[in-house]
């Protein structure tokens, strides 16, 4: 009865309470979500919630109250509300009241709005041209608008950031394609197709079928032109994607197969399967003069004429008449049958997804991207079992992992990529959409990401994926670039006001930051420096203050109370003086810190709002902002 009730409350997630163990055993870590042990409710708190939001949704935009509500729910119930593939998750990132509906499920629609002069466009007038679809001078699709639109969407309220982070993983890391290989139009449609596919089904084989039958993939790998001679059965084309289909989509390297069989039978026959995948064209699409921009991602697997008047022989190019119209190919020791590449890919996806090597590797790839860089053999075994328990459903698996003891354990650790760090910090610093759209694009996350070797849809390893957290940590220029961003462009995170125009002939508007909207006052209605410092640390670092040591506290207290470094506050004549944690435990230096921490801030003063920005810039350059950790004991 208890497990059934929890399942209903959790919205249908598969939960088990140790298969109806005796009541005495229930109290001993007995709750499991799709095979993974759920963190105890006594260990589930606001820090736990914020860790999940940072890892799975670039920090999200949930309010303090909502985070508190999730922390009071059982974790297996809270995670269903936190992580879903709905177009809009109002608890995670609510659209702002009165604002125009933002179509966050389509980069195409966002570009069409943000690059236009539509009255509903919230983007400042001077930035709109950067988001436009076309390069007006060349009359071809511009990659600039695509590069800018995705990061903008990732810090826009109303966008389901968990949905988009999973789509980002699938298109930039898992079934990765570089924009140079597919073109701007195809890569944008590929991303939009992936978002739509996630909203329709979170089953792994369905998502991989969408990727394998996508015109962007066929064009990027060149097998759109592959064919089988219908009378001789001779294959013409390449086997590039025939191999990558298994490696990238399903994690099958062939290590569990006989090498001769894998290369000579599985790969060779899969190349024949990947025929009859010519992509259609729609002339004048996006008003571009370039024919590559007219290509469509949705493949019509029949013999037909496309809108450009070309005769497409996708069915004939796939048929070996000697074997009949409904032919079979031996792949991975199975007969894969169907009349078209689409039918065969559907059948092959079921076989590949359940292959032992795929079952072993796919869950580990997911966890390394979202949660933990180092996975022990014991942890790997548990994750592989959980992937099977979740029935190869990405949403169920990620939910289970997000509230598992494995994710929240003390030794769980992952370096943030430049994508993750910059988006997490900007989402925590930006308080509303007006702030996001009022600021020029170069004060958003896209410039620091680019300077730190992270550009969306241009993965640094091409088909093998984008920048990882380890890449970012080992980039000798990355930390310097991040430091320069905070020093040279402190207004990116600490801006207190911005003037902008929404239309060329409109009066200038002014936006002013008001941290009092989100930073809670104490019982007396005051904002005290010590309280504000702890709140900021938790918002950006999410460790419950475990690493907010005396030295970091003193610096943040000084910045909030005075706008000066702690050393300058203690001794203006010796601003380079160094103070240890021992100095802050007693004596004059400790007294100065206590007085700073007790200072009451006046949030009506723009100068004090600016001091919060200084504190944010300091906090976000500490090592704890470059990685995520598990629970701190």
More reliable by pLDDT, 586 or 457: 457
Residues 241-267, mean pLDDT to the nearest whole number: 96
Q: pLDDT-derived band of residue 571, with 50, 70 and 90 as boundaries?
A: confident
pLDDT at 323: 77
Q: How confident is the model at residue 7 (pLDDT cuts 50, 70, 90)?
A: very low
pLDDT single digits (tens) 332-364: 999 999 999 999 999 999 999 999 999 999 999
422 and 530 within one domain: no
- What is the Cα 358 distance to its own chain's centre? 23
299's CB contacts (< 8 A; 6+ apart) are: 213, 214, 215, 218, 277, 278, 279, 280, 314, 342
CA 352 to chain centre: 25
- Same structural domain for residues 232 and 339? yes
- Report the percentage of the chain scoring pLDDT > 70: 94
Query: Quick one: pLDDT band at residue 100, thresholds 50, 70, 90?
Result: low
Does 504 share its domain with 562?
Answer: no
**274 assigned to some structural domain:** yes
> What pLDDT, in 10s, does the model give residues 255-294?
999 999 999 999 999 999 999 999 999 999 999 999 999 9
What per-residue confidence (pLDDT) applies to 433?
92
Per residue in 300-321, pLDDT (tens digit) is 999 999 999 999 999 999 988 7
Same domain, residue pair 313 and 344: yes
**Lowest pLDDT segment from 194-203, 449-458, 567-576:** 567-576
pLDDT at 476: 87
Please check the confidence at residue 14 and state whether its pLDDT lies above 90.
no
Residue ending a domain, among 478, 512, 546, is 512
**Torsions phi, psi of 54, nearest 5?**
-65, -45
- As a residue count, the chain comes to 633
Q: How confident is the model at residue 490 (pLDDT cuts 50, 70, 90)?
A: confident
Q: Which stretch of DSSP H or E encloses residue 562?
A: helix 550-562
Mean pLDDT across 551-562: 96
Query: Are 469 and 523 contained in the same domain?
Result: no
Co-location of 564 and 480 in the same domain: no
Q: Do 618 and 497 fall within a single domain?
A: no
> Are 228 and 281 in contact, with CB atoms under 8 Å apart?
no
To which residue do tokens 């079979």 refer? 328
Residue with more model confidence, 490 or 281: 281
The verdict on residue 488 lying in a domain is: yes
Confidence of residue 426 (pLDDT cuts 50, 70, 90): very high
617 burial level (CB within 10 Å; 0-12, 13-18, 19+): buried
- State the chain's mean pLDDT as an integer: 91
Q: What is the CB neighbour count within 10 angstroms for residue 486?
A: 20
Q: Is residue 183 one of the residues assigned to a domain?
A: no
Q: Which of 479, 512, 545 is the last residue of a domain?
A: 512
Domain hosting 508: range is: 415-512
Examine residue 533 and state whether it is found in any structural domain, yes or no.
yes
Predicted confidence (pLDDT) at residue 488 exceeds the cutoff of 90: no
Per-residue buried b or exposed e for 237-271, using 16+ beta carbons within 10 Å of the residue's own CB: bebbbbbbbbebbbbbebeebeeeebeebbbbbbb
- Does residue 3 register a pLDDT over 60? no
- Please answer whether residues 478 and 418 qualify as being in contact, where contact means their C-beta atoms are separated by less than 8 angstroms: yes
Report the C-alpha gap between 22 and 27 in whole angstroms.
10
Predicted pLDDT of residue 29 = 45
- What are the E-state strand segments in 501-539? 509-512, 527-528
Percent of the chain with pLDDT over 90: 78
Residue 605 CB partners (closer than 8 Å, separation 6+): none
Condensed to tens digits (0 to 9), the pLDDT of residues 105-136 reads 999 999 999 999 998 899 999 999 999 999 88
Q: How many domains does the chain have?
A: 3
Q: Judge whether 91 and 62 are in contact, CB under 8 Å.
A: yes
Task: Confirm whether 199 is domain-assigned.
Answer: no
Per-residue pLDDT, averaged over 41-66, amounts to: 96
The predicted structure's pLDDT at residue 72: 97
The CA distance from 484 to 480, in Å, is: 6
Q: Are residues 502 and 425 in the same domain?
A: yes
Say if residue 101's pLDDT is above 50. Answer: yes
Q: What is the pLDDT of residues 580-632, one digit of tens each?
A: 888 888 888 999 999 999 999 999 898 889 999 999 999 999 999 999 988 75
Lowest mean pLDDT: which of 174-178, 256-260, 502-506? 502-506
Distances (CA, A) of 273 to 149, 241, 324, 425, 625: 36, 11, 14, 46, 47
Which range, of 54-68, 181-195, 475-489, averages the lowest pLDDT?
A: 475-489
pLDDT interval class at 9 (50, 70, 90): very low
Q: Which two tokens stand for residue 595?
A: 């007085």
pLDDT at residue 30 in the model: 58
- Reported as a single tens digit per residue, the pLDDT across 185-239 is 999 999 999 999 999 999 999 999 999 999 999 999 999 999 999 888 899 999 9
Can you read off the two tokens belonging to residue 500?
């902008």
* Residue at 2 is within a domain: no
pLDDT exceeds cutoff 70 at 183: yes
In a domain, 41, yes or no: no
pLDDT at 489 over 90: no
Grouping H, G, I as helix, E, B as strand and the rest as coil, residue 221 is helix
Q: Exposed (0-12), middle (13-18) or buried (19+): which is 422, by Cβ within 10 Å?
A: buried
Do 454 and 428 share a structural domain?
yes
Based on the fold, state whether residues 610 and 532 are members of the same structural domain.
yes
CA-atom Rg of the chain in angstroms: 27
Query: Of 466, 481, 512, which residue constitutes the final position of a domain?
Result: 512
Assigned domain for 539 exists: yes
Other C-beta atoms within 10 Å of 393: how many?
21
Mean pLDDT to the nearest integer, 140-158: 94
Between CA 612 and CA 452 the distance in angstroms is: 25
Q: Are residues 320 and 431 in the same domain?
A: no
Q: What is the DSSP letter of 262?
A: I
Assess whether 242 and 334 both reside in one domain.
Answer: yes
Per-residue pLDDT at 491 exceeds 60: yes
**387, 396 contact by CB (below 8 A):** no
Kindly give, in sequence order, each residue whose CB lies less than 8 Å from that of residue 592, ignoring residues fewer than 6 positions away: 566, 569, 570
Instruction: Provide mean pLDDT across the span 523-549.
Output: 96
pTM: 0.93
């Amino acid at each position: 009865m208890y497990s059934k009730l929890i399942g209903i409350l959790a919205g249908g997630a598969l939960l088990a309470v140790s298969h109806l163990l005796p009541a005495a055993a229930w109290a001993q870590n007995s709750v499991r979500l799709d095979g993974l042990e759920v963190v105890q409710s006594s260990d589930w708190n606001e820090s736990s919630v914020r860790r999940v939001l940072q890892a799975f949704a670039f920090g999200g935009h949930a309010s303090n109250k909502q985070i508190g509500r999730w922390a009071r729910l059982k974790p297996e119930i809270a995670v269903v509300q936190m992580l879903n593939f709905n177009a809009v998750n109002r608890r995670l990132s609510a659209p702002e009241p009165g604002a125009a509906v933002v179509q966050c499920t389509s980069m195409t629609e966002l570009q069409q709005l943000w690059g236009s002069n539509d009255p509903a466009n919230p983007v400042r007038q001077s930035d709109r041209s950067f988001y436009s679809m076309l390069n007006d001078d060349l009359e071809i699709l511009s990659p600039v608008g695509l590069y800018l639109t995705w990061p903008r969407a990732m810090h826009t309220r109303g966008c389901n950031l968990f949905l988009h982070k999973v789509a980002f993983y699938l298109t930039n890391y898992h079934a990765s394609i570089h924009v140079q290989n597919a073109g701007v139009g195809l890569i944008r449609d590929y991303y939009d197709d992936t978002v739509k596919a996630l909203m329709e089904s979170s089953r792994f084989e369905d998502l991989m079928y969408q990727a394998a039958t996508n015109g962007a993939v066929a064009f990027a790998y060149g097998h759109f032109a592959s064919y089988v001679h219908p009378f001789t059965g001779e294959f013409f084309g390449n086997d590039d994607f025939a191999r990558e289909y298994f490696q990238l989509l399903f994690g099958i390297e062939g290590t569990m197969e006989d090498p001769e069989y894998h290369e000579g039978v599985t790969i060779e026959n899969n190349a024949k399967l990947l025929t009859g995948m010519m992509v259609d064209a729609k002339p004048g699409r996006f008003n571009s003069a370039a024919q590559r921009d007219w290509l469509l991602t949705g493949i019509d697997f029949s013999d037909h004429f496309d809108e450009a008047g070309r005769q497409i022989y996708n069915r004939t190019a796939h048929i070996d008449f000697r074997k009949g119209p409904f032919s079979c190919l031996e792949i991975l020791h199975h007969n894969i049958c169907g009349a078209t590449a689409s039918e065969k890919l559907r059948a092959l996806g079921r076989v590949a997804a359940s292959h032992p090597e795929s079952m072993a590797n796919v869950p580990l790839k997911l966890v390394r991207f979202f949660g933990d860089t180092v996975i022990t053999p014991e942890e790997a075994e548990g994750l592989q079992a959980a992937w099977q328990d979740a029935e190869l459903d990405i949403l169920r698996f990620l939910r289970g992992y997000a509230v598992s003891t494995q994710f929240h354990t003390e030794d769980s650790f992952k370096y943030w990529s430049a994508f993750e760090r910059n988006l997490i910090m900007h989402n925590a610093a930006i308080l509303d959409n007006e702030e996001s759209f009022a600021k020029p694009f170069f004060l958003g996350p896209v410039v620091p990401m680019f300077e730190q070797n992270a550009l969306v849809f241009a993965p640094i390893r091409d088909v093998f994926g984008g920048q990882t957290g380890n890449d970012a940590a080992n980039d000798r220029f990355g930390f310097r670039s991040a430091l320069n961003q905070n020093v040279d462009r402190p207004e990116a995170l600490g801006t207190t006001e911005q003037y902008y125009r929404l239309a060329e002939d409109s009066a200038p508007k002014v936006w002013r930051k008001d941290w009092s909207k989100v930073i809670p006052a104490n019982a007396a209605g005051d904002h005290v420096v010590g309280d504000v410092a702890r709140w900021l640390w938790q918002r950006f670092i999410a460790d419950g203050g475990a690493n907010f040591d005396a030295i970091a506290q003193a610096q943040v207290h000084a910045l909030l109370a005075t706008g000066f470094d702690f050393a300058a506050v203690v001794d203006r004549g010796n601003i380079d003086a160094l103070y240890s944690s021992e100095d802050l435990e007693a004596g004059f230096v400790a007294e100065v810190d206590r007085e700073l921490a007790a200072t009451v801030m006046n949030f009506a003063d723009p100068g004090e709002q600016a001091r919060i920005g200084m504190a944010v810039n300091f906090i976000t350059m500490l090592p704890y902002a470059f990685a995520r950790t598990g629970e701190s004991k």
